[in-house]
Amino acid sequence: MNIMKFGGTSVGSAERMKEVARLTASCEGQKIVVLSAMSGSTNSLLEISDSLSKRDTEAAIELISHLEKKYLQVADELFSSEETRSAGYDLLREHFTYIRSFTRDLFTSNEVKCIVAQGELLSTALFSLYCRESGIDAVLLPALNFMRIDREQEPDQFYIKENLSRELEKYPGHSFFITQGFICRNAFGEIDNLKRGGSDYSAALIGVASDASEIQIWTDIDGFHDNDPRFVQNTHAIAELSFDEAAELAYFGAKILHPSTILPAKVAGIPVIIRNTLNWEAAGTIITDKASGKGIKAIAAKDGITAIRVKSGRMLLAYGFMRKVFEIFEIYKTPIDMITTSEISVSLTIDDTSRLSRIIEDLKHYGSVETDHDQTIISAVGEGIAEGSDAARSIFTALSGIPVRMISYGGSQHNISILIPSLFKSQALNALSAQLFNH
């Protein structure tokens, strides 16, 4: 079994869907194709939900009509026969009637997820219908029948494996399956999701549950690059990465892969391959448990970082201080990215500021608190780069003249991270490429 996941841009138009159908049909063996919502759909559905939550029904109805017209246009371009086009119209009418039903009742926050889920349900329904019209024998497996998270919002892997097996057993002799990424049910049976970017995560979980031989993530770029091509010219695709290297890059800003994707694949020992739907011939990046040489392989940048410094004379020689600080972040379920300490202060970074004001109020019990917003974490990633001084020396030579707020070195053998003001991000990325990769 192979898992082939396609993101929003890969199914973002009728022509792209046709290309994905041709690509997946040409691949031999059993496969499960995991699709995201068409690009832009999730944002539009969130906009609709926002209008409904504000009880601006008129705006919501207008947004729904605009999105429906977009999908009708896609159906016109996607289907060639009148019979299939009519079936596509009926399908769209059913989904948008459901979305409009939320404009007639009091809207609750729990219903946002029901609306947002329509993006994946629409893309897979249209794709499945096109496959049928094209003579491709594909089966649509509803993800809501087997994807579930538990009370801690973590995937219920036993449930997923058991119920996916039951779904597959319904179709003996079939080899082509289609399902939705991102969406799932929660422990109470309600429609939920794996958060933004969760289709990659879905693919990994489905890969583990189906004992897949590989997990393919198809996107619009030739695999992981050694730097961010949006800011740096002449970047190069990386042929091979270890799970640890890929996890560091994904977590610290490489948008090509959702950070949660790596762990399930790593535990199960299933290779992950990043491929380009716009360039089928490109080898992409293969991610396995083997590292291909030491040294810095790539640079990643994570924006939207806030640095917090807690300064207290009581910290000096006081045990228990760090535990109390960490407990505050645990209470407010806010992960920490970087941390540094001195005799009288501790500095750390977060990217979720939704509970920042309450966190600061609690931290003030232990000392004075300072915050710096609009920061960026620049991470250099590669096997064993923290074992010697050469990598660090090269990094700091490149960043000469750029103000550095924090440094994380030695916490991981695969990562050296530096916090800088976001204003200097582009300058830092280009300087690092010139120094490390001779770009």
Mean of pLDDT over the chain: 92
Cα distance between the two ends of the chain: 40
Region 309-317 average pLDDT: 74
pLDDT confidence bin for 257, thresholds 50/70/90: confident
- Asked if pLDDT for residue 310 goes beyond 90, the answer is yes
pLDDT tens track for 207-255: 999 999 999 999 988 899 999 999 999 999 999 999 999 999 988 877 7
Q: How far apart are CA 370 and CA 92, in angstroms?
A: 52
Measured in whole angstroms, the distance separating CA 17 from the mean position of its chain's CA atoms is 21
Residue 58 pLDDT:
94
Name which CATH class applies to 2-220: alpha beta
pLDDT tens track for 21-53: 999 999 999 999 999 999 999 999 999 999 998
Q: Are 288 and 243 in contact (CB under 8 A)?
A: yes
Tell me which of 309 and 254 has the higher pLDDT.
Answer: 309
Q: How far apart are CA 322 and CA 305, in angstroms?
A: 21
Region 115-143 average pLDDT: 97
pLDDT tens track for 336-368: 999 998 878 899 999 999 999 999 999 999 889
Task: Give me the residue spans of the domains in the chain.
Answer: 2-220, 298-436
- Asked if pLDDT for residue 102 goes beyond 60, the answer is yes
pTM of the model: 0.90
Q: Which residues pair with 372 in a beta bridge?
A: 307
Q: Are 257 and 246 in contact (CB under 8 A)?
A: yes
Residue 195 pLDDT:
81
Among 3.40.50.300, 1.10.150.120, 3.10.20.30, 3.30.2130.10, name the CATH number for the domain at 298-436.
3.30.2130.10
Contacts of 50 (CB under 8 A, 6+ apart): none
